[in-house]
Chains A and B, each alone.
Chain A
Amino acid sequence: MSQAQVSVQVNEPVEQVYSPAADFWRRLRKNKLAMVSLVFLLALTMVAVFAPYVAPYDPYLSDMPKALQGPSSEHLLGNDELGRDILSRIIYGARISLRVGLIAVGIALSAGMVLGSTAGYYGGRLDNIIMRLMDIMLAFPSILLAIALMAVLGRGVENAIIAIGIVSIPEYARIVRGSVLSVKENEYVQAACAIGNNDWQIIFRHILPNVMAPVIVRATLGISTAILETSALGFLGLGVVPPYAEWGTMLGSGRGYMFNAPHLVFFPGIAITLTVMAFNLLGDGLRDALDPRLRR
């Protein structure tokens, strides 16, 4: 009798039950590229936050005798056209790129969620009006729209955030609307409605939490787009106002010297590429971990 019991216990597979969050984390942790990217981005954030302590030099301090000097043991990434330390400027530049990327996506995400869930939940004429407006915004290549907005808003970090935030709204509105449309047919939404919740309670408590997975993935990838767009605005001379160190602006002003001092354009570009790549890899990793069915 007791033997039989033992054998039953041995044969039964040990099934460990994870909470959804633990399950997500377990899957994400297995993705080495995503984890490396996460660590890189956390490190970059720390460097950006503590820039005054990390940067070897003052990023605005001009040292004309050293202008256009290549990398040396003193200045690891060399000096720019005004003799400023490029490494320090890249470190300070991380502050702007991350700030613009995160806040712009935050703006686009909030506006897109409100518009998308309103359109998806209420449907009908409201849906039509909102989505046609989004279609019109999508009729512009986003960088062109951002450029045009910067032209009327004027240069500056805040305006870059607004411009990039606005042009990304339609994407999020579309994703949220699509997900809301499919989620709102669920029985638990009908139940929430039946027990007398009002529309906003239903949308915020019962629908939105269930459409977050694709939105989070899109937002992570969206940060990389926002960083690329920020640098493009800076490169075109429409971004932050000098002397602020911003990667794209550094590229734009270094461009005139690139024939004899290519390091002026090389290193800021590497910084942009690595950061964007990290957000892309993390976004892919999140997608795979949040919804294995989306895996390609």
Chain B
Amino acid sequence: MLKYIVKRLLLLIPVLFGISLFVFLVLHLFTADPAAMMLGQHATAEQVAALREELGFNKPLYVQFGIFLSQIVQGDFGRSLMTRAPVTDELLTRFPATVELAVAAMLIATVVGVTIGVISAVKQYSIFDYLSMVGALLGVSMPIFWLGLMLIILFSVTLGWLPVSGRIAVGMEPTAITHFYLLDSLLTGNWEAFKSALSHLILPAVALASYSMAIIARMTRSTMLEVIRQDYIRTARSKGLAESVVVFKHALRNALIPVTTVIGLQMGSLLGGAVLTETVFSWPGIGSFIVNAILAGDFPVVQGGVIMVATIFVVVNLIVDILYAYLDPRIKYS
């Protein structure tokens, strides 16, 4: 097992190198003049030339990549053109917000998705099954930013139950320990902050969870249906076990193995979806920051942000793979 983990960690190095090279090439080859793009239409030729000099764009491409690589290995992604602050700092301050949102969404998607899937499978062809599969179909077909807007219109504007946007009410931020507002407010016993953070988190988390929830519910239902028809389930029933024991202990545990893979795969769409959800709810995370950077032509932030998200994605996938190998003893670590 340890050997497998070390091997996978070593394999991460060429992948991260590839990611950096890919982002670098895309941004440098597709843009005729990045310096001009960053400064916009109103820049003078001298300004463009100065920036080109400052960022080293007049050096040969491979030299630029070499410099770029040696910088990012040290965690240096340059400075943001919008805020003039180091890109790494900017991204790291926004990182906890994105993680909080993604983890909340993943929890909702997994818990609700698996529950719906199990009930649908056990009560196949019931009204519940029918309605939840229609719901799942809607979940994979709706754009999440549209769902987000609809949730805002319903719960924030019409009913007035939840706030429209942001991460917490202004001035309510709890003392920073982990930088996750829910956790920090709990740790400091700040209930007002906890309530505010939770009420801000619900809508974006539900919107972001919708797609993955639908996929997980479908997958759980179909694997449960397969497992339930197997002989050992019939044996368990015939020896007089309670139905709940059969469903949860015998069937669900085996059905969960393929579901785990799907949950792992969903982390990617969740990170991508976070870009959209954060924009809809003005959630101060990495996603909305990257989108703003793109609209403002902030080249270093786009570069650093995209590499950072891809790195998170790859690392999360690695963790899922390792967990999966641990959960399913049939998997070989070769």
- Please provide the chain A residues from 128 to 172 with a CB less than 8 Å away from any CB of chain B in the complex: 132-133, 135-137, 139-145, 147-153
Residues of B close to A153: CB separation below 8 A: 30
Residues 267-296 of chain A, each 1 if its beta carbon lies under 8 Å from chain B, else 0: 011001110110011000000000000001
Of chain B, the residue at the smallest CB distance from A268 is B146
B146:A273 contact, CB within 8 angstroms: yes
Which secondary structure characterizes the binding site on chain B? helix
Contact with B along A17-33 (1 / 0, CB 8 A): 00000000000000000
- Residues of A whose CB lies within 8 Å of any CB of B are 132-133, 135-137, 139-145, 147-153, 224, 228, 231-232, 235-238, 248, 251, 255, 258-259, 262, 265-266, 268-269, 272-274, 276-277, 280-281, 296
Say yes or no: B272 contacts A273, CB within 8 Å: no
Docked Cα-Cα span, A107 to B147, in Å, equals: 29
A117 to chain B, nearest CB (A): 23
Q: Determine how close the nearest CB of chain B comes to the CB of A168; give it in whole angstroms.
A: 13
> B residues 252-276 with Cβ under 8 Å of A?
268-269, 271-273, 275-276
With known contacts A232-B143, A265-B149, A296-B222, A148–B157 Cβ distance under 8 A: no
Number of B residues near A (Cβ < 8 Å) is 44
A97 → B minimal CB distance (Å): 11
- Asked whether B137 lies within 8 Å of A281 as measured between CB atoms, the reply is yes
The residue of chain A having its C-beta at the shortest distance from the C-beta of B274 within the complex is A141
Minimal Cβ-Cβ distance residue in B for A276: B141
Docked-complex contact A152 and B27, CB < 8 angstroms: yes
Q: Is the CB of A272 within 8 A of B146?
A: yes
B177 part of interface (Cβ distance < 8 Å): no
| B15 CB contacts on chain A under 8 angstroms | 135-136, 139
Cα separation A245 to B257 with both chains bound (whole Å): 45
CA distance A54 to B80 in the complex (A): 49
Complex contact B141–A280 (CB within 8 A): yes
Residues of B within 8 A of A140 (CB): 19, 306, 309-310, 313
Query: Are B138 and A277 interface neighbours, CB within 8 A?
Result: yes
Q: Is the CB of A139 within 8 A of B146?
A: no
Q: Is B202 an interface residue (CB 8 A)?
A: no
Q: Is B140 positioned at the interface, with any CB of A under 8 Å from its CB?
A: yes
A236 and B141 contacting across the interface, CB-CB below 8 Å: no
Question: Most A CB atoms within 10 A — which of B142, B145, B222?
Answer: B145
Report the separation of the CA atoms of residues A232 and B279 in the bound assembly, to the nearest whole angstrom.
11
Instruction: Determine the distance from Cα of A225 to Cα of B276 in the docked complex, in whole angstroms.
Output: 15
Question: Closest Cβ of chain A: how far from B101's Cβ, in Å?
Answer: 14
B143, B309, B314: the one within 8 Å of A273 (CB): B143
Interfacial chain A residues near B157, Cβ < 8 Å? 259
Known: A140-B309, A148-B302, A149-B30. A251 touches B146 (CB 8 A): yes
Question: Bound state CA distance, A133 and B14, in angstroms?
Answer: 11
**With A135-B15, A136-B15, A147-B275 as contacts: A273 and B138 at CB distance below 8 Å:** yes
